[in-house]
Homo-oligomer: A and B are copies of this chain.
């Protein structure tokens, strides 16, 4: 990110991923083609890596979220849990972490029963023990990395 204009463009697109070049042009005070050139550079440099619709988890039948920490049962085995778990679509995120456990997963499922099944699948697929923390309520998530102008 080169300057404040780029920052502004990224902030706008973080808020509204379908903002038009005309919208961005108005927001930053440059011509449409100048904005377009900057946007292409931001994408080419990997600052902006893509665009996503955000989907309501309840509306698509996955109202229950949980953090699942996992620890290999046998520390001698090859540890490729992320690969071994990739096919489980309920898992939204997988990070390796410092501390007690080896990985932190974040998952969304349809029901407590589906969570039970998922945890069992994880244990079998990756040869790990698990520690599950159920999410009761989500206050906010996916807040923009780059704050909007009036912040």
Residues of A at the B interface (CB closer than 8 Å) are: 1, 10, 13-18, 45-57, 59-60, 62, 65, 67, 82, 86, 89, 91-99, 104, 106, 108, 133-147, 151
Contact = CB atoms under 8 A, between A and B. Distances in A.
Given A46-B59, A135-B104, A145-B62, A140 B94 contact: yes
Copies in the complex: 2
A53 B50 contact: yes
B52 A17 contact: yes
B55 A94 contact: no
Contact of A97 (B15, B91, B134, B145): B134
Contacts of A145: 55, 57, 60, 62, 92, 108
A99 B134 contact: yes
